[in-house]
Structure 1
């Protein structure tokens, strides 16, 4: 296979357009810095993003390379099929529930990041510990989507994937560093439009290829493999619901979502944007579903790819670029590659901005240097972008391994951070003792559940744990169970700690976290009790 020169030129043009858009947005951000704090402009865009830009940047953040590639892969897999595609429905549920329950509480106090209510409720130290799961999640997400782009470029352009990873990472780091949320948001508009148009251009060519059967027929009839519509066996229903709950609720507790919620010009606009983003996310999954269906309906022996099939070659994770390469004309496959590149960059810049924002504002400003100037915080944020982006770029070379790490960190965010955020926003009486207990119990239970992709066998076998091909599969909804246990632990432990200290069962001097006292040397125990509204009995 020779170098695809037209495709390479097209990709270079797309990258140039993205970079120019990002630099223009950076210039726009600098104009707005004159009347507002620099960090507020960089992190939440000065809180004045219009609904159009807000809709596109929110949707583009979720519709990344993992979304469009992963959806096609699951539809194609004979062991899965459409019935196991959770992302479109799960992401739609994320935005709807976010709009219903989380937008107003977050905006009412004018928070800057998702970590603000956590630090406000549980203290700076516990807040810094809670920062670890989303930090790792953002880094691994950045790395995994760059890795998917590298693999796609290798298939379609016959260019070393390492080169595309490096160029993509440097481009994203540059415009995100210069313009913050403005650059990310405005480049997301270009990237989402490019994705929308390019993927739909590819679909008709793939559907009409002579090597593919009618997908309406293969949806329910076995031809080249099992029906691509798939099925859910009764014993797997609990696991299916667990995965859906993980995507629906676990997607809320991410800075990338709240960054856009807090950047909207009003609460009403933020809610409308969230609702519409859910709908658009679901729509953006349709081209990938159709491409996966085409792949499952294709006689690969009639293409230059030949036999064995991608599934038999263990290349199912590359099914979308393979369809573009072998079932579409060259110029169409190039458009598809542009769509994948756009999806990757739209998610990569968001994860980079998310991690650096929380580190600079919540860790550096609130904990390490409380007297830091606005300009100093901005420079720390930029430096962290370079460091975190470089780390993610290095991890991208691990390919599948880093994707597995991202998935595990996402589950930790669901099991640990989501219940913490719920308590901070809706149960303000919870405290640091409950937070710490919920964190460590949730973390322990999730690791004991095992992770097959990382070859971590389960130490805790839940009901229905079965052994398939020397691999244990947990049929019990243990991810959601872990989240609920963590949530219950936070509430119960917080209540017990309050009772033990306020009823003098434990001396107030044992309150090492200062949850019920401001300064023991200046306040009597009775005064401390009055501060929390409890009377000594």
Structure 2
């Protein structure tokens, strides 16, 4: 296919509409109270409209990786529909989040998910635990940018780097200017476009002359294995591990908490969480149908020819390939717009998430505790540019970016989820337990190896086997690592409190200041807060003395 000028023009128009919406929303954010501009940027001043909140929460999860990845898994002969876990996993995650996490997070008016962790375990642990979500957010943005670049190359026959640069600049600009307001209102436009564009493509793809009925191929081996797929006995542990990773690992993300913390009430926050889970599940249906169509297509009858996408190693591009070779050109361009919308709806959320935590939890609470609201806002904007540029640069390495993003998500699940649960629900856990859980969990995950990065395991769990020269862990080791980390936090916390309270260890060894000299328990964060208050009082006293002397 030759260079498609009309398609490029249409895509540029869509980008301009998105940018205009973001700029309009940024004007709305400026009309809000100027007393807490960072709070307006991070959580929309906690008065987000219910429907806007619902759309932005749904669009956050329905990203480019979600749309493309669902179609790819359904199409793959070795996987199939039974391995499409994200729709049900995300739906359950948002249900659990609404039931258990909304109330404790909103009751104390937190701004980010790192706030309760810093409050419970101190700034040092907060800075360490900030690393996994930062890595995951940056690689997430890079992954969806790489996905869009590959899609544009297939449909419009243009270089992917143009799509990456244009998309990154657009997202950075409107997110920088309007914060959560710009992200939320552009998500509304993007989600509507995703739903409309993908559903329009379905009838054309299903009625193409080269495609067999998907209801027939669901049980018959026509062009490849049936697209429903199956789970082998030896893969049950791996399937369960991935599913629990999606359910529980989808909760400790700032992109999720940013939405529920921006709602105007706890009731609305819960409803947003519940209904956005339903929306994620429903929006997977078009991608599932497209993957089933691809598995039911005789590619030799299309201009794509043989070998098949799976044989060429292009399964990750199955959605744009279906749009290009099984749909009219104008329809495929609409589908490309849907993918672009999905990319931006996830990219802006990841960008805002990382910059919010850095500006609020690292800069304001650690690096510069006397920073003004304006300082925090400018640091937040600067970090958006830095993280966005880093993600765009990483997007050019698309062959490994998905593996790195998935690994970053695993670190969030295995390291951050138990820390957040302990900080919110288990009283009297302390910095000793948090540090032990972090390092022990990280060590266990490292020793398990990583097949996608060809890192051999030093711990071979039951079912570990060599497949095509790479060791594959079939045991649910990610969930085991998470549970071990959780138990380590609890046990070490209570053990440390016991030995210091009973004077089994000298108080001078109590580097985290669990107790005072009078044996009254004081956590490290409380100690830090006391020191900060004392420092501020001393500074004010010195300033008053100077003024008196003058």
Q: Please name the residue that 2:81 is paired with.
A: 82
Who is 2:229 aligned against? 230
SS at match of 1:453: coil
CA shift at 1:2, angstroms? 0.8
Q: Give the structure 2 partner of residue 152 of structure 1.
A: 151
Partner residue of 1:47? Answer: 46
Is 1:121–1:428's contact at 8 Å kept on the other side of the alignment? no
Other-structure match for 2:14 = 14
CA contact (8 A) 1:502 1:529 kept: no
Question: 1:178/1:509 Cα in 2 relative to 1: closer, same or farther (>3 Å)?
Answer: same
- Taking the aligned partners of 1:277 and 1:363, their CA distance within structure 2 comes to 30
Distance 1:511 1:323 in 2: 62
5 Å-filtered alignment, 1:263-302, equals 263-302=262-301
Q: Report deviation, 1:78.
A: 0.2
Matches within 5 A, 1:146-185: 146-185=145-184
Tell me which of 507, 518, 521 is aligned to 1:525. Answer: 518
What is the CA–CA distance in structure 2 between the aligned matches of 1:473 and 1:247, rounded to whole Å?
A: 19
Question: What residue ranges of structure 2 are gaps of 5+ in the alignment?
Answer: 526-550
Deviation string, structure 1 residues 411-451 (Cα, Å, up to 9, x no partner):
01000000000000001310011001100111111111111
**Corresponding residue for residue 202 of structure 1:** 201
2:548 aligned residue: none
Aligned counterpart, 2:383: 384
Residues 112 and 257 of structure 2 are in contact (CA less than 8 Å); yes or no, is this contact kept in structure 1?
yes
Q: Are the counterparts in 2 of residues 144 and 400 from structure 1 also a CA contact under 8 Å? A: no
| Matching of residues 207-356 of structure 1 within 5 Å | 207-356=206-355
Aligned-partner Cα distance in 2 for 1:413–1:109 = 23
**8 A Cα contact 1:134 1:409, kept in partner:** yes
Aligned residue for 1:502? 501
Structure-2 change in CA distance of 1:43 and 1:528 (3 Å):
closer
**How many Å apart are 1:472 and its aligned residue?**
1.5
* 3-state DSSP of counterpart to 2:452: helix
**What secondary structure, in the 3-state scheme, does the structure 2 residue paired with 1:463 have?**
coil
Q: Quick one: distance in 2 between partners of 1:150 and 1:515? A: 52
Give the secondary-structure state (helix, strand or coil) at the position aligned to 1:525: coil
Query: In structure 2, what is the equivalent of residue 357 of structure 1?
Result: 356
Residue of structure 2 equivalent to 1:447: 446
Partners of 1:280 and 1:61 in 2: CA distance: 11
Compute the RMSD of aligned alpha carbons.
Answer: 1.3
Query: Displacement of 1:516 after TM fit?
Result: 2.9
Contact 2:217–2:296, Cα closer than 8 Å, also in 1: yes
Give unmatched runs, 5+ long, in structure 1.
Answer: 518-523, 533-537
Matches of 2:219 and 2:446 in 1, distance apart? Answer: 38
Aligned counterparts of 2:350 and 2:443: Cα–Cα separation in 1: 26
* Residue 254 of structure 1: how far off its partner (Å): 0.4
Change in CA separation of 1:59 and 1:505 when aligned onto 2, cut-off 3 Å: same
Specify whether residues 207 and 492 from structure 1 end up closer, same or farther in structure 2 by C-alpha distance, changes over 3 A only: same
Contact 2:515–2:523 (Cα < 8 Å) also in 1? no
For residue 157 of structure 2, give the secondary structure of its aligned residue in structure 1.
coil
Structure-2 separation of matches of 1:432 and 1:355: 24
CA contact (8 A) 1:90 1:245 kept: yes
Matched ranges for 1:455-474 at <5 A: 455-474=454-473
User: CA–CA distance in 1 between the matches of 2:51 and 2:227?
Assistant: 36
2:479: which partner in 1?
480
Could you report, residue by residue, the CA deviation over 1:248-267 in whole angstroms, capped at 9, with x for unpaired residues?
Answer: 00000000000001000000
For the Cα contact (< 8 Å) 2:513–2:523, is it kept in 1? no
Cα deviation, 1:143-186, whole Å, max 9, x if unaligned, reads 11000000000000011100110000000000000000000000
CA contact (8 A) 1:56 1:185 kept: yes
Q: Distance in 2 between matches of 1:515 and 1:208?
A: 69
- Conserved 8 A contact 2:513-2:524: no
- Give the 3-state SS of the residue equivalent to 1:452 in structure 2: coil
**CA distance in 2 between partners of 1:529 and 1:130 (Å):** 22
Deviation at 1:130, TM superposition (A): 0.3
Secondary structure of the corresponding residue to residue 77 of structure 2? coil
CA contact (8 A) 1:508 1:525 kept: no
- In the other structure, the counterpart of 1:520 is none
CA offset digits 1:308-345 (Å, max 9, x no partner): 00000000000000000000000100000000000000
Q: Separation in 2 of the partners of 1:460 and 1:526?
A: 42
CA distance in 1, matches of 2:182, 2:522: 49
